[in-house]
Amino acid sequence: MTYYRAWFQSKNGYNFVDGYEFKDLETTFLITHDPETAFSAITDYSDLDELYLRMFQAIMRRPTDESDLIPYEQIAETYAYFRDDYVLQIRPAQGDEIDLANTTYLVGDARVDRDEFGADRMAARYDNRELTIQRSISRYVLGAGMYVDSETGTRYAGITTGDSDGRLFWALPDNCAQYPNLLNKLGVLPCRIQFNRLSNGGMHLAFPIKRNPKAPDAA
């Protein structure tokens, strides 16, 4: 099977798309001159129209942290505008590009966003593993954030862990939506976190306030 790597490139040939920001009813697409830092996809698709649509849907899952989400009723208009300005740039995938982090995989029926740590995040929230606990568990957390569910178009919280079972992405329950912002604001990641179940079904997180610069890298 032949795999390809694809980007969205501006029609002038200089810029590549990496995400978007939606503020005050205006959409701004984030661009970079470097294809290695831009959004890209690994794919086996031969239908270029379908590939373009799937990649655009992946871009819709890449708003900035400060961005609002584009309202559902405006996405078709945004897509038409986008097609006027950006084209596909495709070439055969080389060497270990198939295993690149921070890349979307569109192979067969799969729609997978691989994060910066190399963990696979399914496009639909409920296709991901969810962190559920009966009493308490400990995880070495590499990163945390808010992600866009392809099915509902809404944000949900998630974390990437790195322990003996490898680097894994976990969706967090709705009652934990505040934790990614808190962890990132405190600057404690990566660190080991104790997740404790509360009597009301919620979670309490215990973690060091100061990050240990000698913390071991995840397996």
Each residue's pLDDT tens digit, 65-89: 999 999 999 999 999 999 999 999 9
Q: How many CB atoms lie within 10 A of CB 7?
A: 20
Please indicate, yes or no, whether residues 47 and 15 belong to a single structural domain of this protein. Answer: yes
Residue 65 near residue 146 (C-beta atoms within 8 A): yes
Number of domains the chain contains? 2
Please indicate, yes or no, whether residues 163 and 98 belong to a single structural domain of this protein. Answer: no
Range of the domain at 136: 121-206
The reported pLDDT for the residue numbered 210 is 57
H or E element that contains 179 = helix 179-186
Global pTM reads 0.90
Residue 97 near residue 57 (C-beta atoms within 8 A): no
Please indicate, yes or no, whether residues 126 and 201 belong to a single structural domain of this protein. Answer: yes
Q: Residue 219 — very low, low, confident or very high, per pLDDT cuts 50/70/90? A: very low
Nearest to 143 by CA among 159, 167, 125: 159
- From 114, 132, 160, the end of a domain falls on 114
- From 114, 129, 150, the end of a domain falls on 114
